[in-house]
A and B are shown apart, each in its own frame.
Chain A
């Protein structure tokens, strides 16, 4: 059973450019989460999906950020017009929710973004 995978692992971009990250969850996991982690801090919740529905977005997620999970499988996180403050590790996690009971969230290796 493969774990959560993320692509790319590293991304360097210039300010103002758009970037897109991909997350492939553990197969059959119906919940998918995005977190952001800056240096010296713990991960912070950005958004999550139950199947293909995006159910909550943190106020950390500005209008420049958009996430999708078409068909309830992989997810993409796009940042438009990147700013230097967007530099961080973007982590994806997945879990299985059945009948109101959620299993543990398992994390991918993350995508480290550097905006120059």
Chain B
């Protein structure tokens, strides 16, 4: 069975600080995908990144970066120089490569950026 754990329920940081959101996953599949989604107060899940299990290269997109480590089954997300607009709930998710490819989500981390 697949499982995603986001141990940080809520995080608050002052604007311009860096913040890292943790994600640990469990799966028996050798091929799988990892995702991060952002859910602002409006409720819509916004796709941020998708990573397959064979690509452990870290990725940077503007102020966002992701660190994928298979050895520790982690896929952490860092926001550099945080802004108030980054305030949202962030979800990490996992899907198998074959079959229904449904997403298994963590419980989310609520990030509040204090101006």
Contact = CB atoms under 8 A, between A and B. Distances in A.
A97 B101 CA distance: 10
A104 B47 contact: yes
Interface stretch (A17-25, A36-44, A75-83): A36-44
A112 B39 CA distance: 14
A41 B37 CA distance: 14
B100 A42 contact: no
B44 A109 contact: yes
Contact of B45 (A43, A55, A95, A100): A43
Contacts of B50: 104
Interface residues of B, number: 22
B104 A45 contact: yes
Contacts, number: 55
B54 interface: no
B43 A89 contact: yes
Contacts of B108: 40-42
Contacts of B75: none
A4 B35 CA distance: 18
Interface in B99-115: 100-108
Interface of B: 4, 35, 37, 42-47, 50, 91, 93, 98, 100-108
